[in-house]
Amino acid sequence: MDFVFTPPAIPAVPISGCETLFPVHRIYCVGRNYSDHVKEMGGDPKKEPPVFFSKPASAIVTDNQNIPYPQATNDLHHEVELVIALSSGGKNILLESAEDCVFGYAVGIDFTRRDLQAIAKSNGRPWDVAKGFDDSAPISAIKPVSECSLNASTEISLEVNGAVRQQATLGEMIWSIPEIICALSKFYELKAGDLIYTGTPAGVAAVGAGDSLQASLQGVAELKFELS
């Protein structure tokens, strides 16, 4: 087929220990999935069901590339998150079979223009400009599920300029990995290539040009880059 211009490259994520790439279909994100973060944002963790939003697939940044400080914000926040990478999907996926869809796991950052999000929230507007901007979804290499041993005590953390800003265990997630896949598939037909950013623990804060960020999912993935 001929296109009117050269189509953009397919966004793709490296796979650890493998030369082939993971092609990204969509990026879904979960809001409010750790109690302490829900509280720091002024919510009640027990009252609210999972909140979903999305980012364009082109928002990923791979290979520890440095990221320019984004336009249109003076309050860029880091949100370190476990990322689920899917190799299959479907609608209304059963809880028992949800983990069969998982290709692997990574660590990523859901960058948020918090000032624009605050305006959107107070006016009942969509979150797109706060969440779905260019370079807003840096991600580590994906580790295949057969090589991961995630459990409730697995640590997720983020350091900025060598100081710990966010640190939690996966046991603190309000919604588990299968519960997230199951709930999301009630709204969308999930597909191979989907990434799900699963929400951030407490400790979100601003970062600026010149800051160095290092995210870690214990035993699974590391991500390190600078804002320029």
Find the shortest distance in angstroms from Cβ 30 to Mn ion.
Answer: 7
Q: Which is nearer to Mn ion, 15 or 113 (CB)?
A: 113
Find the shortest distance in angstroms from Cβ 61 to Mn ion.
Answer: 16
Find the shortest distance in angstroms from Cβ 36 to Mn ion.
Answer: 14
CB 37 within 8 A of CB 200: yes
Q: Which is nearer to Mn ion, 131 or 143 (CB)?
A: 131
d(CA 108, CA 79): 8
Side chain identity at residue 163, one-letter code: A
Q: Which is nearer to Mn ion, 44 or 147 (CB)?
A: 44
Find the shortest distance in angstroms from Cβ 217 to Mn ion.
Answer: 15
Return residues touching Mn ion (CB under 5 A): 79, 110, 200
Q: Which is nearer to Mn ion, 88 or 167 (CB)?
A: 167
Q: Which is nearer to Mn ion, 15 or 175 (CB)?
A: 175
Which positions ≥6 away from 159 have C-beta within 8 Å? 165, 213, 214, 215, 216
Nearest residue by C-beta to Mn ion?
110
Instruction: Report phi then psi at 177, rounded to 5.
Output: -55, -50
Find the shortest distance in angstroms from Cβ 146 to Mn ion.
Answer: 27
Find the shortest distance in angstroms from Cβ 197 to Mn ion.
Answer: 6
Q: Which is nearer to Mn ion, 62 or 198 (CB)?
A: 198
